[in-house]
Amino acid sequence: MASTGERRDPYRGFKFRVQIDGIQRAGFREVSGLDSATDPIDYRVGDDKTVTISKLPGLKKFANITLKRGITDDLDLWKWRKQVMDGKIKNARKNGSIILMDDEGNDAAQWDFVAAWPTKWTGPTYNATANEVAIDTLELTHEGLDRTK
């Protein structure tokens, strides 16, 4: 079947940036966890003569977003995690975006998350025989995800 429209190649997954409360963080190696799900609820009316069970939408759930980056002297993300560890969760909630760019560096797709806070930090693995960048991982829990572009 021939397409009548303009060809649209898929975007590549290696050109992206992360913004957290408007602060752009470059240098992330990997972002994962852009995931939403709605639990199905089985429902059957007691006087229904059929044996079919209806499926109703239940709770919406969002996976944690995982950010991996090379360690630098920038401590902003660590300070954000420390706010949570110190029990200051009210001030720690932040909104953010993951923005995918096209080959020319233009914004192509965007996922916005709301009320996020760092639930887990994992430090790098050190190996004296390896030739790799030291990577730390920050896991964010959040209360909503939307694709806005």
Q: What is the pLDDT of residues 46-85, one digit of tens each?
A: 776 777 888 999 999 999 999 999 998 888 889 999 999 9
Mean residue pLDDT across the chain: 90
What is the value of pTM for the model shown?
A: 0.84
Bridge partners (DSSP) of residue 118 are 140
Cβ pair 94, 80 in contact under 8 A: yes
Determine the Cα–Cα distance for residues 128 and 111; give it in Å rounded to an integer: 38
